[in-house]
Structure 1
């Protein structure tokens, strides 16, 4: 009985198919919107706090462990010009991250059901929050502990004056690594929602994920214990958060038809 009723209901996505060229045009528009958003964020950051202000901000963790009058040095000829631009570009991408994620959602939204669209924007907000949390965790905790650990092994006869270019590349890689690693709950929730894995399998995979977390941390972080633990431990905790959230998210995003079929299935048989 439930099957006959569900078959009579028209698919809400029926007739929404678009030709391939239309998809390319839509993709081009969304990419342009992304570029416009990054450009607007870069213009705002160039006005305040400016490239120099951004450099000063990201240099706070390492300068806290350098002599009072010490400064970062620029070894490359063009480093004083290109490094601030690189930092400005990365900061603009981070500032525009919610806008970029919204454009991705807007591109795939026509292929989603209404009950799936309702939870797309909360996922964008949650994913942006997790990315910003990972970057803030690096800036305010990981770098300070990491440089304090490294400075303990610096001989007194050695002056620690890092190159600004290598320093920026190192912390940007940490920003990206932690920003992506903190997306573990989002990945877990989507895997469960699209029925690629079950919550029971995720729970049984817990031990393997712990080992995988430490392997990933050893590969993507500098060769010090502090940064590796700072990445692996949050990944394990976020994996548990993802398992808990996946159950709620999977139930909440089910359509009314799926819920009615689940309730009417046993009686229909």
Structure 2
């Protein structure tokens, strides 16, 4: 295909993806109230409304300006449209890229996508489970006699950030497995990174989570550390399999393999010595045999 044909196909793929997102977002708009209730459900509500907050670990969900209900509804509907229509626009992306991949590259892509989806969903589920605890910890700092009023759009931003951060962080073991499958890092080398990885994961958990409490940091960091060691174990098993199939697979580019110096019998040389002439070459076809003299080509 020419460059113009590639651009035309990309335009058609993007148009189909945008149409799917728009249609699903329009349908989701009718259920926007239920979606907003689901996203705001982790917030511990105060039973007495705006009264005096004696416990501290509760809040009132409110809209702070005139346009907040409209903008929040649009944002929730668009987010639901992107998530629910993901099979369609991911297929459009795959249909644009797949013709340029080899068969084994497609096989690896299917495997990694099949592993990436449950990992991301597991991280999103953990984020939704941890959010009520994190919110109670943060709201518990509120002084007695004060009330917490949380805007709905802020709650939405908080929930989306938590889901994306947890879901994206759970893809770390998949990245390590990709490095091992491509030969860029061995399992033993990745195991040697464990001190730096654990420190980096906990620092990332402290900085990436919107909350400043240790609950969110530990809830994000501990599963990633477990997944890291699981990825290292898979990499070491894969290195063992690769070493068994190819003993020279783990050698560096500038490292020579061991030479086998065991003497072997060379049958062709023995036949040449006995007959005094070179062994006859195997013919590969009638047309080629015509150009040969006594079975040999003109160069021989």
User: Fold match, TM over 0.5?
Assistant: yes
- Count of matched residue positions in the alignment of Structure 1 and Structure 2: 241
**Structure 1: which 5+ residue stretches go unaligned?**
1-17
SS at match of 2:42: helix
Kept in 2: contact 1:132–1:179 (CA 8 A): yes
CA root-mean-square deviation: 3.0
Match of 2:179 in 1: 191
Question: In the alignment, is residue 38 of structure 1 matched against residue 41 of structure 2?
Answer: no
Deviations 1:66-118 (A, max 9, x none): 21254411113311100121122122222233444443333332232212312
Kept in 1: contact 2:188–2:236 (CA 8 A): no
Distance in 2 (alpha carbons) for counterparts of 1:206 and 1:264: 26
Q: Give the alignment's TM-score, normalised by structure 1.
A: 0.77
Distance 1:247 1:84, change over 3 A: farther
Kept in 2: contact 1:210–1:236 (CA 8 A): yes
Residue of 24, 46, 54 corresponding to 1:67: 46
**Structure 2: which 5+ residue stretches go unaligned?**
50-59, 250-256, 261-300
Q: Which has the higher helix share?
A: 1
Match of 2:97 in 1: 108
Deviation of the 1:158 alpha carbon: 1.0
Matches within 5 A, 1:17-166: 18-47=1-30, 50-62=31-43, 65-68=44-47, 70=49, 71-139=60-128, 141-166=129-154
Distance in 1 (alpha carbons) for counterparts of 2:91 and 2:248: 37
Distance in 2 (alpha carbons) for counterparts of 1:246 and 1:31: 37
Q: Could you say which structure has the greater relative contact order, defined with CA pairs below 8 angstroms and 6 or more residues apart? A: 1
Kept in 1: contact 2:29–2:73 (CA 8 A): no
Kept in 1: contact 2:9–2:96 (CA 8 A): yes
Kept in 2: contact 1:42–1:92 (CA 8 A): yes
Match of 2:218 in 1: 229
